[in-house]
Structure 1
Amino acid sequence: MGRRHHFHVEYVGHSVSATVEAGHTVLVEVLVDGKETGHGTTHDDHPVTVHVELPTDPPTPVSVRVTPAPGVPRCILEVPGAEDHVMSPARF
């Protein structure tokens, strides 16, 4: 089992969290408002993008881009037509 890293950001009143389990195979789980809405995997240092939706009316498609890299991974919330948001490390 690899090391787990947690990230979080608030966007338009919704909570977006990501858990990244680092190792040879990198596992990513994305939660929106506390509910698992997407997951992805990658290998070694290769980036992975997980597409999810915010529960707005109509739903807002967003993506969480994870770059495992050596050391602590980076997570960015990507919103079409808006500025990217760096997800802050969080303790769970």
Structure 2
Amino acid sequence: MGRSHHFHLDEGGHSITVNVGRGRDGEIELLVNGKVIGYQQKHGPGMTLLTGELPDEPVRPFRVRVREPRLVPTGPRCTLELAGGPEQPMPERSERPVS
């Protein structure tokens, strides 16, 4: 079944988080400063693209790419492209144990 994956990056005083649900068919949530701003109900192997904006003046658009390997059973990779700049990897956070 697989596990959930959580990616996070702080950018210009804002928190950008991507939560990828369990398995290859799980949902993807995109959060800015803890608020869900994008959602993809299902995803499969290949690439999923989500877009959003950072609430600055003026707003700064960004894209997040979630890549699920097609042939190799490894976890997803996530990158951030801010305002047309270069893609930067988003580090994966480990799951916190439930107490």
The TM-score normalised by the length of structure 1 is 0.86
Separation in structure 1 between the aligned mates of residue 27 and residue 18 of structure 2, nearest angstrom:
10
Aligned to 1:87: 90
Aligned to 1:42: 43
* Larger gyration radius, structure 1 or structure 2: 2
**More strand per residue: 1 or 2?**
1
**Structure 1, unpaired ranges of 5+:** none
Report how far residue 51 of structure 1 moved: 0.6
Separation in structure 2 between the aligned mates of residue 71 and residue 22 of structure 1, nearest angstrom:
13
Shift in CA distance, 78/49, structure 1 to aligned 2, threshold 3 Å: same
Question: Percent identity over the alignment?
Answer: 37
Kept after mapping to 2: 8 A contact 1:26/1:68: no
**Structure 2, unpaired ranges of 5+:** none
Report how far residue 68 of structure 1 moved: 1.6
2:37 aligned partner, one-letter code: T
2:5 aligned partner, one-letter code: H
Shift in CA distance, 75/36, structure 1 to aligned 2, threshold 3 Å: same
- Does 1:66 find its partner at 2:28? no
Kept after mapping to 2: 8 A contact 1:66/1:73: yes
Aligned to 1:78: 81
1:32 aligned partner, one-letter code: V
What RMSD, in angstroms, separates the aligned Cα atoms of the two structures? 1.6
SS at match of 2:10: strand
